[in-house]
Amino acid sequence: MKISISSQSLLEAKAQTLVLFLFEEKPLSQEVLLIDKELGGIIQTAIKEEKFTAKRSETVAVNISKGFGFTRVLLLGLGKKSKLSLLALRQGIGTAVKMLAKSNVQKIAVYVSKLPGRKLPTVQVAESLSLGALTAEYQFTEYKTVKKDLPTRIKELTFYTTYPLKVFNKGIEAGVIIANAINHARDYGNQPSNKANPSYLVTMAQEIAKTPKVRCRVLEREEMKKKKMEALLAVSQGAVHPPKFIILEYKGKPASKDWLVLVGKGITFDSGGISIKPGEKMDEMKFDMAGGGAVISAVEAIAHLKLTINVVALIPATENLPSGEAYKPGDIIGSAAGKTIEVINTDAEGRLILADALHYAKQYKPKAVVDFATLTGACVSALGTHVSGLMGNNSSLIQKIKQAGEISGDRVWELPLWEEYSKQMKSDIADLRNISTGQGGGAITAAAFLLEFIKEYSWAHLDIAGTAWSTEEKPFLGKGATGTGVALAVELARKWK
């Protein structure tokens, strides 16, 4: 979809469908009344006859007789003016785009005049709109061979806006960059694991390293052995595809030694290993590298946005599979940090590979480390699928992430990481066990395990198990991998000082 802007009158718009935003509040604004008059009263007719109340993402399509460059108008509700948020804009336009694409529309015009309510900066309005449109249009079609099964796509979207064009355009450019990165992260998550193995993630990271100031390095098994990454190596034992430890650096502030470290869980398939998972939904475990995909894509976006920050993504990548050589329940393994771990359940593998990555992070003397991981089913039980679990050891970092979550739309909710939980991770015969001794609280005890590997830096952990994958089609987003975490990481990097 090509996105452009125009300062022409919207009545000059040349498109198949014109999208108009409306709010719940009555009476209608002077501006809307004027537009309605020009369009022959269709808005007030729709409100009366179609009982259109302009609730969030409510739509009604109206045909226009003639005399305009467009033949249909889609009225899109944005809810209450006072409650208008960037997320509401993003989901609203997403709903319109998805709907219009289904009805074969190829060219749309969207009218955006000064939005009311809470003060929303122009640049963020434009960014959210372009991002919402492009992520709504995404479909994973690589393996469809029959052309008629392919979805139709919107070719052109033009914003007719009363906002200052230069600033609005800046927002669009950023929105396009971030949306592309999100959609790439979704590609990585949707790719089946017979294609997306650890080497595939390496190829994707190397592709991004072609961008100025980005560098990719990969630790192979031999180097992992030298660095005593025994936890990552143990998880990879049962797999045929070799593990990879990916390091993707962007140096946007070369004179500075400050680093923001992003760590992403890169399990390209999680069968559970010897503690094998039930068959139902096991196919979905191809997205267990969503954290890794998100941090690779975040670096992609940060580099294209040319942010003045040094950021590195660390991705321990492997499959978790059973075999005669696989690690087993009861095994005691080492780790790069030197701590010993009693493996009680081979399905709690994410925390093991993250332990070695979090230890590796130390050498950057990071300002902060944030990990993104589809870590626990318990997090899905606790919070559902609309919000990621957030835990950490530093309240100001937690605060920053909460703010980034609000702005980016990747919403987060903090869970308590109290020391009682850490006690539950002690083993009788090794330093740690990989699952808790107690009942419940699995999202927190997993984080408590990670905390054991963090000594010298501020750290936050995002459990994205519930948010990284969508089993239901949403009006503004298709099924499958969601790309969660990319926008949040970008927002965090932007705010970084």
As annotated, the active-site residues are 277, 351
By CB under 6 A, name the one of 345, 394, 424, 427 that touches ligand BES: 345
Residues 452-491 that bind ligand BES (CB under 6 A): 465
Instruction: State which of residues 58, 288, 342, 410 lies at the interface with Zn ion (CB under 5 A).
Output: 288
- 288 vs 410, which CB is nearer to ligand BES? 288
Query: Minimal distance in Å, beta carbon 320 to Zn ion?
Result: 6
Distance of alpha carbon 196 from alpha carbon 374, whole angstroms: 16
Nearest-angstrom CA–CA distance, 248 and 210: 11
Q: Report how far residue 286's alpha carbon sits from residue 294's, in angstroms, rounded to the nearest whole number.
A: 14
Nearer to ligand BES, 156 or 431 (CB): 431
Min CB(459)–ligand BES separation in Å: 20
Question: What is the C-alpha to C-alpha distance for residues 36 and 45, in angstroms, rounded to an integer?
Answer: 10
378 binds, among Zn ion, ligand BES, none (CB under 5 to 8 A by kind): ligand BES
Candidates 80-88, 374-382, 406-414, 449-457; binding stretch for ligand BES (CB under 6 A): 374-382
Asked if 369 contacts 459 with a C-beta cutoff of 8 angstroms, the reply is yes
What distance separates the 2 farthest-apart alpha carbons in the chain?
A: 81
For residue 256, what are the β-bridge partners?
Answer: none
Two structure tokens written together for 158:
């033009």
- Start-to-end Cα distance in the chain: 34
Ramachandran assignment for 378, one of left (phi > 0), alpha (psi -120 to 50 degrees), beta (any other): alpha
Residue from 293, 350, 442, 466 touching Zn ion (CB under 5 A): that is 350
x-marked contacts with Zn ion along 261-280 as a string, rule CB under 5 A = ------x--x----------
Tokens for 271, please give them.
């069968």
Task: Give exposure, 461-470, as e/b (b: 16+ Cβ within 10 Å).
Answer: bbbbbbbbbb
- Shortest Å, Cβ 482 to ligand BES: 12
| Token pair listed for 474 | 């949403």
371 binds Zn ion (CB under 5 A): no
Give the binding range for Zn ion (CB under 5 A) out of 89-97, 282-290, 322-330, 480-488.
282-290
CB of 425 to Zn ion, least distance (A): 16
Are 73 and 18 in contact by the 8 Å Cβ rule? The answer is yes
Binding residue for ligand BES, selected from 36, 249, 347, 356, defined by CB under 6 A: 347
Measured CA to CA, the distance from residue 339 to residue 76 in angstroms comes to 56
Residue 345 carries which DSSP code?
Answer: -
Q: Which stretch binds ligand BES (CB under 6 A): 297-305, 309-317, 342-350, 393-401?
A: 342-350
Q: Report, in Å, the least distance between residue 372 CB and ligand BES.
A: 12
Letters for 254-283 (x = contact with ligand BES by CB under 6 A, - = none) are ----------------x-------------
Tokens representing 432 are 């740690």
Q: Which of 348, 352, 357, 462 binds ligand BES (CB under 6 A)?
A: 348
Q: Which of 374, 240, 264 is nearest to 312 (CA)?
A: 264
Instruction: Report residue 426 as tokens.
Output: 């002690």
- Do residues 52 and 75 touch, judged by C-beta distance below 8 A? yes
> Binding to ligand BES by residue 380, rule CB under 6 A?
yes
Task: Choose the stretch contacting ligand BES; rule: CB under 6 A; options: 33-41, 345-353, 418-426, 482-490.
Answer: 345-353
Distance, in Å, from the CA atom of 129 to the CA atom of 120, rounded to the nearest integer, reads: 12
> Collapsing DSSP states into helix, strand and coil, what is residue 50?
coil
Beta strands 266-270; 214-219: pairing state: unpaired
One residue of 377, 402, 426, 474 binding ligand BES per CB under 6 A: 377
Among 127, 137, 300, 347, binds Zn ion (CB under 5 A): 347
Annotate each residue in 401-420 with x if it binds ligand BES (CB under 6 A) or - if it does not, as one string.
--------------------
Residue 117 binding: pick among Zn ion, ligand BES, none (C-beta 5-8 Å cut-off by kind) = none
Cross-strand bridge partners of residue 72: 17, 63
Q: How far apart are CA 475 and CA 97, in angstroms?
A: 9
What is the C-alpha separation between 215 and 203, in angstroms, rounded?
13
Q: How far is the CB of 247 from ligand BES (least distance, A)?
A: 23
Stretches 93-101, 294-302, 331-339, 341-349: which one binds ligand BES (CB under 6 A)? 341-349
How many CB atoms are located within 10 Å of the residue 10 CB? 25
Paired residues of 310 in beta bridges: 251
Could you tell me which stretch among 82-90, 254-262, 376-384, 399-407 binds ligand BES (CB under 6 A)?
376-384
- Structural contact between residues 266 and 191, judged by C-beta atoms closer than 8 angstroms: no
Contact string (CB under 5 A) for Zn ion, positions 397-436, x = contact: ----------------------------------------
Residue nearest to ligand BES (CB): 377
Residues in 287-316 at the binding interface with ligand BES, rule: CB under 6 A: 288
Binding residues for ligand BES, rule: CB under 6 A, are 270, 288, 345, 347-350, 374-378, 380, 435, 442, 465
- Binding-site ranges for Zn ion (CB under 5 A): 267, 270, 288, 347, 349-350
